[in-house]
């Protein structure tokens, strides 16, 4: 560990990217559509893999997916998708890469309907972060009724790689829920920022 700060247990033994991600991003409320799209993509990419694998490829994703520019990704054709699948800078899973393009197109539809993806996605938590009070990592759920509802609605709209566990991880990443454990130095900082 780079310092003496107490962090969520899942960070221990992680690399520098883990610490930086935990300390500066995980649980911080996100209201930018581009960044929400990035997190939705990365959480879907993680399915069946470790978060460390995804973090190590994050810059590759940003580079190859036009920094998650929703309009550009929505225009990707089969030739572009095939070129992405040849590049080891990302997780080369055909279903996951195709889902990113599909999801970008569907986010554009939601933006037309509601003005922003942010307005749509944050409605599931009543536009405010859920502040949980877990003592340790064993108490943190992998899904909740809220992530169930989000997953169901996203799937109904045609989104891919949006199961309830992925949706809950997305909620944690984007600050829709604060799941920093009570002893973690980030918990109070995020609670105060509400």
Residues annotated as part of the active site: 21, 43, 51
- Longest CA span, the chain: 49
Calpha distance 23→39 (Å, rounded): 16
Backbone phi, psi, residue 99, to 5°: -65, -35
Distances, alpha carbon 172 to alpha carbons 53, 71, 175, 179, 185, in Å: 18, 25, 5, 6, 16
Tokens of 113: 């309907």
Minimal CA–CA distance to 61: which of 79, 75, 77, 43? 43
């Amino acid at each position: 560990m780079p310092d003496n700060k107490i962090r969520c247990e899942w960070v221990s033994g992680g690399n520098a990217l883990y610490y930086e991600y935990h300390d500066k991003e995980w649980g911080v409320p996100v209201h930018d559509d581009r960044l929400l799209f990035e997190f939705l993509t990365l959480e879907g990419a993680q399915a069946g893999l470790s978060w460390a694998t995804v973090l190590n490829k994050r810059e590759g994703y940003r580079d190859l997916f036009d920094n998650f520019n929703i309009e550009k990704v929505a225009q990707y054709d089969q030739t572009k998708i095939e070129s992405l699948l040849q590049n080891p800078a990302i997780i080369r899973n055909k279903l996951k890469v195709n889902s990113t393009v599909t999801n970008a197109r569907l986010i554009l539809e939601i933006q037309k309907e509601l003005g922003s993806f942010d307005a749509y996605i944050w409605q599931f938590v009543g536009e405010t972060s859920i502040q949980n009070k877990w003592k340790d990592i064993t108490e943190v759920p992998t899904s909740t009724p809220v992530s169930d509802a989000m997953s169901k609605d996203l799937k109904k709209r045609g989104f891919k790689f949006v199961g309830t566990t992925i949706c809950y991880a997305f909620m944690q990443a984007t600050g829709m829920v604060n799941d920093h454990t009570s002893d973690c130095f980030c918990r109070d900082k995020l609670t105060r920022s509400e």
